[in-house]
Amino acid sequence: MAKLFCGIDWAEHHHDVAVVDGSGVRVAKARITNDAAGLRTLLELLAEVGDHPGEPIPVAIEKPHGLLVASLRVTGRKVFAINPCAVSRYRGRHGMAGKKSDEQDALTLANILRTDMAAHRPLPADSDLARAITVLARAQQDAVWDRIQLGQRIRSLLHDYYAAGLEAFAHLRNGGVTKAEARVILALAPTPARAATLTRGQIRAALKRAGRARHVEQDVERLHQIFRAEHMRVPRPVEQAMGHQLTALLGQLEATCTAEQDLATAVGQAFTQHPDAAIIISFPGVGPLVGARILAELGDDRTRFADARGLKAYAGSAPVTRASGRSLHIMNRKVKNDRLAAAGYVWAFAALRPSPGARAHYDRRRNADDPHTAALRHLFNRLIGCLYHCLQARKTYDETTAFPPRLAAAA
Average pLDDT, the chain: 91
For position 1, what pLDDT does the model report?
47
Q: How far apart are CA 48 and CA 64, in angstroms?
A: 26
Read off the pLDDT of residues 117-138 as tens digits, 9 standing for 90 and up. Answer: 988 889 998 999 999 999 999 9
Of 78-87, 98-107, 254-263, highest mean pLDDT: 254-263
Helix (H) or strand (E) holding 75: none
- Of the candidates 345, 346, 343, the residue with the CA atom closest to the CA atom of residue 137: 343
Residue 409 has pLDDT above 80, yes or no: no
For position 334, what pLDDT does the model report?
84
For position 95, what pLDDT does the model report?
64
For position 85, what pLDDT does the model report?
86
Cα separation of the two ends of the chain: 59
For position 98, what pLDDT does the model report?
65
Residue 174 pLDDT grade (very low, low, confident, very high; cuts 50, 70, 90): low
Sequence-ordered list of residues with C-beta below 8 angstroms from that of 382, at least 6 positions apart, any chain = 361, 402
For position 97, what pLDDT does the model report?
63
For position 265, what pLDDT does the model report?
96
Residue 175 has pLDDT above 70, yes or no: no
For position 145, what pLDDT does the model report?
94
Read off the pLDDT of residues 3-57 as tens digits, 9 standing for 90 and up. Answer: 899 999 998 889 999 999 988 899 999 999 999 999 999 999 999 998 888 889 9
Helix (H) or strand (E) holding 398: none
Selected residue with higher pLDDT from 324 and 192: 192
For position 345, what pLDDT does the model report?
96
How many H helices and E strands in the chain?
19, 7
Residue 264 pLDDT grade (very low, low, confident, very high; cuts 50, 70, 90): very high
pLDDT, average across residues 161-190? 89
Predicted TM-score of the model (pTM): 0.87
